Structure 1
Amino acid sequence: MYRWCFDQMAEEEEHVVSLVDVLEEDEELEEEASAVLAASDAEHCSYSQGYVKRQALYACGTCCPPGGAAAGVCLACSYKCHEGHQLYELYTKRNFRCDCGNSKFKDLTCKLSPDKEEVNSGNKYSHNFFGLYCTCSRPYPDPRTRSDQMIQCVVCEDWLHGRHLGAEVPDSVELQEMICESCMKKNQFLWTYAAHMAGTAPPNQQNPVKPEVKPEVKPEVTAEADDEPSAKRLRLQGEPEGEEPKGVCRLKELQQIGRSRSQSGATFWPSGWRSRLCTCADCQKLVSEAGAPFLLDETDTVLAYETKGKTLERTNQSAADPLMSALDRLNRVQQLELIHEYNDLKTELKDFLQSFASEGKVVTPDDIRQFFEQQQSRKRRRANGQLYGP
């Protein structure tokens, strides 16, 4: 379950943390930041790309305060054009074109892409662009209320407090995407899929989730009386699994089964659920008229965007890593020797620091200096043929 970016952690009392804890937390924060930002360009305004499929966005409270027109700016413009301004982090939004410097900004011209149309008519805005979230329209973090996780709806892309979802938030990591109650009611066809795939019903009305079974289907699409909800589509008799017969609507198949659930509260969906939606011509028209064709696109997910960002970040880090650059200039024997030396040094440094941790001692600059002096001494002795000894 992705509680992207808006999880709030509160400690009840002070406690002592180790350096390892700090480093691990810092590494986790860096990884989260790279997942959100690495797939967006930090140097060039995204305006020339049109309505970008998904990108990191910000709203400027200084240039576009509440009561005025809502506007969003790309990552690069947040750095280059709005430094020192009050920025609202919007995480990511789909199909958005950068507004920076257009008619919504009275006293600012975009430094990166000054020639823009007055308005981006294809953009969609919400109260998020004024730093407000959820059905309660409160800021984040909210000084007036208790801390609560916030989860993003994959349809309207608003962030909602867990306590305002009208449903219990599942612990299962497999239930990765949430659709809020408002969006479910605007897209009634989703309730049919929810009865077979969504993992959580409103409190005290939760349907049991049982292991998937493969129903025996007759040539006329029916289901046995004791069928349990299945995440897979129903198959006609003799149809090879994995193939979708032409002219068969998966949504109508599920509707004929007649399985239902209470139509209230947010719904939570498992990984890959979008691939199980029907893509027949009628269903494509249905989701298009509902303004949600992205539901049929598995690459629209935030998970796909984050994965792309992490991959780009790792690639960039490898290219900038001095060790990797040095390895590229060496032959294979030299590469192996350098890697062994590096791993040995890392292991010895870890053991050295662990000895201080186990005894509760503080590591001083002199201790670190002494460690590396010992390493140099050992290296010289090895070079002179003295392979053993401290």
Structure 2
Amino acid sequence: MSMDPPPPPASAGDTDAPVVAPKTTRSESFSSQKSTDSQTAAEFIRDQMQLEADAREALPYSIESCTNILGSLRQSVFACLTCNPPPAEPKDPYDGAGVCYACSIQCHGEHTLVEIFTKRNFTCDCGTKRYPPTTPCSLRLNSTTNTKGGVHSEEPDANNKYNQNFRNRFCACECDYDPFQQKGTMFQCLGLGTSETGGCGEDWYHPGCLVGMGPNWFESMKKEKPATVKEPTEATAMPTISEDSEARPGDEATAAKKQDGDEDVEDEDEDPPMPPGFPGEDDFEAFLCYKCVNANPWIKKYAGAKGFLPAVFSTQKNAEVIGTEEVAKKRKAEDDADVSEAKRLKGTSGPAEGQPTSSAPAVKQETQEASSVTCRWALLPSPPAGEFSLFMTEDFRNNICRCSSCYPNLDPHPQLLEEEETYEPPMSDGGNSEHGGSTNGSGSLLERGESALRNVDRVRAIEGVMAYNHLKDQLKPFFQQFAESGKAIGAEDIKSYFAKLRGDDQAIKDAGGSANGSKDDKDDSRREQSGY
């Protein structure tokens, strides 16, 4: 830290010269600081533990091992744009690459990363030929050296599939995702096929893009926002007269302007609503984009069926809306017919007068056999015309036909048969155990230090305690003088005191002489001793 040189002294003839305040020394300057910039050891430890707790909340999982050895998983994936930058031209080919959660922190923590979230059947690419050898995997065991780290240039998993997300491009609008600029919610397609087979590869979509209105469709709503007209109330119906009535209009205008400004701020902070024609967030559990639906046209017949919402068309047209209403009416009529048929079976399945009761189980068994071989997909009406996405409720898997004719369509897509399990790394040790955490990188710094002290041998522990007590006895009178005077301890005070403890009196004299010599030197060429 340096200080500006003092102004030159005024001559005797300068009667109008300003009065210069007496100059304070550095130690006085530091000591005069209020204690607001200081903190006790307990406060420092508490703040440090809070920072570490916040870090564990943001990154709750263990970062000790790479998932590459576990093989193909449905897991959280990150793309490193520093090690594998995309080409400048959007249409140029690009070989994507992704890493697991642990490698994104341990091996690429200081790089530019894209969080792609979950991808199925993916193996971590860290340490493979998809990344340069200059960025090896530091978590896996090197088979050559038999040590941890330094793994590179291995063959990647041939079953990994990549889409535009790995170059930080999302949705049908092919936008570069910026979490600090994007507004609203994006939804991930369940995915039926990869981008090579005509699907999307579990891409993320803006609601506006799924209904053909674009990602920024809500911007037009702000421009066309109608002016709100307040209804007159008892308090405002009759005008009032006051002495300061001339100032009232300005005050009211200022208040109205402030209110409008507050509303604008609220509008900017709020997420945009769902576009017209898009289902509510609570109305569906998963969805299939129009790309995946077109790549698997057999699934189109489920639009509007049980477990599926009506088709959401990628272009808003009146004809398609009418077609959807007709399909809904048709399905309702078929449902009514099914209900009446069920009532008829129920009414006729009971034994009539004079008939043996043994015929009832026979009828029930025949009905069950007929339902087991009936293809529910074949009974569905023809799908609506046009390009659309499918939105499914939580129980949609229970309503998909799994007969021998339909199962071949389902077999390549097990996500339609049962809910997938997503791999999650083990939770990081929060250091809440009674033994104070561990020394393998988990737990707080304080707990890791305490754990390390417990593992020190007895002789060194005794020597350490003796050295600590000696230092405490030396520092007690130093701290006592500041406690009695109520002054904060300055950096120069600490430097001087530790110089005395080392017996470095000559250094103190040299520093003092240098400081005194600088009083008459206008360019203030003081030098400071380095800190400790």
Map 1:32-51 onto structure 2 (within 5 A).
42-51=63-72
Q: Map Cα deviations across residues 247-272 of structure 1 (whole Å, 9 max, x no partner).
A: 43332232xxx253344222211012
- Counterpart of 1:253 in structure 2 is 379
Contact 2:127 2:154 in 1 (8 A): no
Q: 1:140 to 1:98 in 2, by over 3 A?
A: same
Match of 1:111 among 132, 138, 143: 138
TM-score, normalisation: structure 1: 0.56
Contact 1:151 1:161 survives alignment (8 Å):
yes
Contact 2:63 2:106 in 1 (8 A): no
- Counterpart among 367, 380, 388 of residue 265 in structure 1: 388
The answer to whether residue 397 in structure 2 is matched with residue 274 in structure 1 is yes
CA gap of 1:259–1:118, structure 2 versus 1, over 3 A, is: same
The 2-side partners of 1:175 and 1:193 are apart by 14
Q: Offset of 1:279 from its aligned partner?
A: 2.3
**How many Å separate the matches in 1 of 2:104 and 2:187?**
24
Q: What root-mean-square deviation, in Å, do the aligned CA atoms of Structure 1 and Structure 2 show?
A: 4.0
Tell me which residue corresponds to 1:129: 166
Query: Shift in Å at residue 175 of structure 1?
Result: 0.7
Quote the residue 1:170 is aligned against: 279
Deviation, 1:171, is 1.3
Corresponding position of 2:294: 185
- CA distance 1:282–1:121, shift in 2 (3 Å): farther
Whole-angstrom CA distance in 1 between matches of 2:153 and 2:376: 44
Q: Per the alignment, in what secondary structure is the counterpart of residue 293 of structure 2?
A: helix
Across the two proteins, how many residue pairs are aligned to each other?
258
TM superposition shift of 1:195: 3.2
The answer on 1:72 being equivalent to 2:98 is yes
Q: Is 2:129–2:152's contact at 8 Å kept on the other side of the alignment? A: no
The residue number in structure 2 matching 1:161 is 206
Q: Equivalent residue for 1:360?
A: none
One-letter amino acid matched to 1:269: M
Asked whether the 8 Å contact 1:195–1:259 carries over to 2, the reply is no
Question: Which of 135, 139, 147 in structure 1 is aligned with 2:176?
Answer: 139
Letter paired with 1:77: C
Farther-moved stretch of structure 1 (205-214 vs 117-126) = 205-214
Contact 2:188 2:203 in 1 (8 A): yes
**How far has the Cα of 1:184 moved from its partner?**
0.6
CA distance in 1, matches of 2:204, 2:158: 23
Q: Does 1:294 align with 2:412?
A: no
CA distance in 1, matches of 2:369, 2:379: 15
Q: 1:240 to 1:44 in 2, by over 3 A?
A: farther
Aligned partners of 1:101 and 1:214: how far apart in 2?
Answer: 61
**CA offsets per residue over residues 83-118 of structure 1, 9 Å max, x none?**
100000001111101111101112221111237841
Letter in 2 for 1:87: L
**Residues 1-390 of structure 1 aligned to structure 2 (within 5 Å):** 42-52=63-73, 54-67=74-87, 68-106=94-132, 107-113=134-140, 114=151, 117-141=154-178, 147-155=183-191, 156-166=201-211, 168-196=277-305, 197-200=307-310, 201-202=312-313, 203=316, 204=318, 205=321, 206-207=324-325, 215-216=338-339, 238=364, 246-254=372-380, 258-288=381-411, 291-298=412-419, 300=420, 305=422, 320=432
Instruction: Give the CA deviation at 1:148.
Output: 4.1
Q: 2: distance between equivalents of 1:260 and 1:74?
A: 40
What is the CA–CA distance in structure 2 between the aligned matches of 1:175 and 1:139, rounded to whole Å?
Answer: 27
CA contact 2:189–2:204 (8 Å) conserved in 1: yes
Mapped partners of 1:32, 1:189: distance in 2: 44
The one-letter code of the counterpart of 1:160 is: Y
Cα 1:217–1:103, aligned 2, differ >3 Å: closer, same or farther? farther
SS of the counterpart of 1:102?
Answer: coil
Measured after TM superposition, the shift of residue 241 of structure 1 is 10
**Is the alpha carbon distance of 1:100 and 1:146 closer, same or farther for their aligned partners in structure 2, counting shifts above 3 Å?**
closer
CA contact (8 A) 2:136 2:152 kept: no
User: Take 1:86 and 1:154, find their aligned partners in 2: how far apart are those partners?
Assistant: 27
Is the alpha carbon distance of 1:116 and 1:270 closer, same or farther for their aligned partners in structure 2, counting shifts above 3 Å?
Answer: farther
Uncovered stretches (5+) of structure 1, i.e. residues with no partner? 1-28, 220-236, 323-390
Give the Å deviation of 1:244.
9.4
How many Å apart are 1:160 and its aligned residue?
A: 1.0
Structure 1 residue 63, shift from structure 2 partner: 0.7
1:251–1:138 distance in 2 versus 1, CA, 3 Å: same
Find the aligned partners of 1:297 and 1:117 in 2 and give their Cα distance.
Answer: 34
Measured after TM superposition, the shift of residue 320 of structure 1 is: 4.2
Q: Distance in 1 between matches of 2:120 and 2:184?
A: 25
Q: Specify the alignment match of 2:41 in structure 1.
A: none
CA separation of 1:309/1:60 partners in 2, compared to 1, >3 Å: closer, same or farther?
closer
Q: Distance in 2 between matches of 1:101 and 1:131?
A: 21
Given the superposition, is the C-alpha separation of residues 48 and 285 from structure 1 closer, same or farther in structure 2, using an over 3 Å criterion? same
For 2:308, give the aligned amino acid: A
Q: Distance in 2 between matches of 1:244 and 1:117?
A: 55
Contact 1:284 1:293 in 2 (8 A): no
Instruction: Give the 3 Å change call, closer, same or farther, for CA 292–217 of structure 1 in structure 2.
Output: farther
* Percent of paired sites with the same residue: 29
Q: CA deviation at 1:43?
A: 2.4
1:42 Cα deviation from its structure 2 partner: 3.3
Corresponding residue of 2:9: none
